[in-house]
Structure formats: structure tokens, C-alpha cells
Structure 1
Amino acid sequence: MKKLLSVLVVLLAGCVSSETQLAADGNWHQIGYQDGVKGHTERSYRALSKLGAANQAEYDQGYEEGILEYCNPNVAYQIGLNGQEYMGVCDHLKSGQKFRMEWQRGWRDYNQ
């Protein structure tokens, strides 16, 4: 189940439009969601503005939704096992410590 869920997250993240196209369409929510679901750190307004006329509020909302999906402790082991670095984006959440512990377990196995 854990493996299936992480595979689905990766596939869904890969099936979306490019951020350049999303910015041109004004879909800042989706850009934020993609960053969050991939576990990237949140972008600043300045960084978003390089893509176009940024809407920080929409980006932030999408980012939070993506982070909540990414920070599932039930898939954290698989994220680490796949060799994906963890940027600390879950630390502020209630399940953040469990996520980090599971990710570290997968990261150790990846590096062995």
C-alpha cells in the first residue's frame, strides 16, 4: 500500500502541465501544489515573479495542500528509499517528527 501510494503521487506530479504554462494560464494554485507535493521548499514572491504576474495567495494555498499530501508519514519511508532528499518542509506539522523518522529509515536503506 505504501509503495502504491508513493508511485501514484509521483505519477500524478509528472502528469501535470509545466510551470511555465501554468504561470501563463495564471494557475498559481497548481504551481504551489506541485511544489508542495514534491516536498520542495516554498518559493518567495520574487521567485514566482520570474514566471510572470504571480498570485502569492493562490500559490500559498496550493502549496499547503501539496505539503499536506507529501507529509504523509505512511509514504515517508518510500520517499527516503527512493533517494529523495528531505528539505524539512513537514517539521511544522503534528506528524512532522514521525515523517522525519520514517524518511530517515528509508534514506539509510537507500544509502546502504
Structure 2
Amino acid sequence: MRFIVTSLLCLLLTACQIDPYTHQPTWTGTDWFDAGKEDAMNGVAVKSNQSLAANFNDPKVDRSEYLSGYKEGQEKICQENFVYAWGLAGRIFPASCDTADNNSKLREAWQHGMKEGTQASRLN
């Protein structure tokens, strides 16, 4: 009986061994398009190549892909109703909209949202 329990325990313990190289992730590189899109949608200004290389630990910055993604993110965020909501929430004007074509209208919408948000917080 003791032999069966011991052998069963040894079998159980050896079955739990994990090969550390089996599930090793593969490095695919940085998706510069997504990095640019993410920066724009977070309201961040365009970053330099040196800053991007340091942030992503990838010296091969694809500037054109980053700027393409940034432009797409900028198109999504730089809309009057969106920046109005940012102002209403008390967030600063997104730096990614500073270079937008309709910058003055966006700033007006954001300022209107800031004003309304401030008034609403005073009433509460």
C-alpha cells in the first residue's frame, strides 16, 4: 500500500513540471501605428524619435507609421463634442488638437465645457 501511494505521489509531482521554454513569448516589435494613435487619443503632443525609442525600448522608430496612427487618433479625438466633454470633465485641452485645422472651434467648445463643468460643481 505504501509503495502505491509513494509511486502515485512521485508520478503526480513529476507531472506538474513545466518546461520554461515552452510558453516563451515571441518579440514582434513595436506597432508604431498603434503607438501614434494611442498618443493622439490620450491628448499627448507628437513625441520625438528619441523619446519614442526610450519609451518603447525599440531604437528602430518608424516615424511615418507613428505619424499615420497619430493622424487617425487625432481625427477621432479632435471633434467639438469630444473636447466639450473633456472640458466638462475638467480635463485640460488635448495637446494633440493644437495642430488640428479647426483648433479655434475646438478650443471654444472645450472652454464652454469647462465653464459648464465649473458651474455644475459649484451647485453641488
Taking structure 1 as the reference length, what is the TM-score of the superposition? 0.70
Q: Does 1:26 align with 2:30?
A: yes
Are the counterparts in 2 of residues 39 and 89 from structure 1 also a CA contact under 8 Å? Answer: yes
Q: What SS is found at the alignment partner of 2:43?
A: coil
- Equivalent positions of 1:81-96 (< 5 A) are 81-96=88-103
Q: Which structure 1 residue ranges, 4+ long, deviate > 4 Å from structure 2?
A: none
Tell me, which stretches of 5 or more residues in structure 1 are unaligned? 1-22
Query: Larger Rg: 1 or 2?
Result: 2
Question: In the superposition, relative to structure 1, how do residues 24 and 111 fare at CA in structure 2: closer, same or farther (>3 Å)?
Answer: farther
Q: What SS is found at the alignment partner of 2:92?
A: coil
Quote the sequence identity (%): 29
Question: In the superposition, relative to structure 1, how do residues 39 and 62 fare at CA in structure 2: closer, same or farther (>3 Å)?
Answer: same
Question: In the superposition, relative to structure 1, how do residues 76 and 87 fare at CA in structure 2: closer, same or farther (>3 Å)?
Answer: closer
Taking structure 2 as the reference length, what is the TM-score of the superposition? 0.64
**How far does residue 108 in structure 1 lie from its aligned partner after superposition?**
2.1
RMSD: 2.0
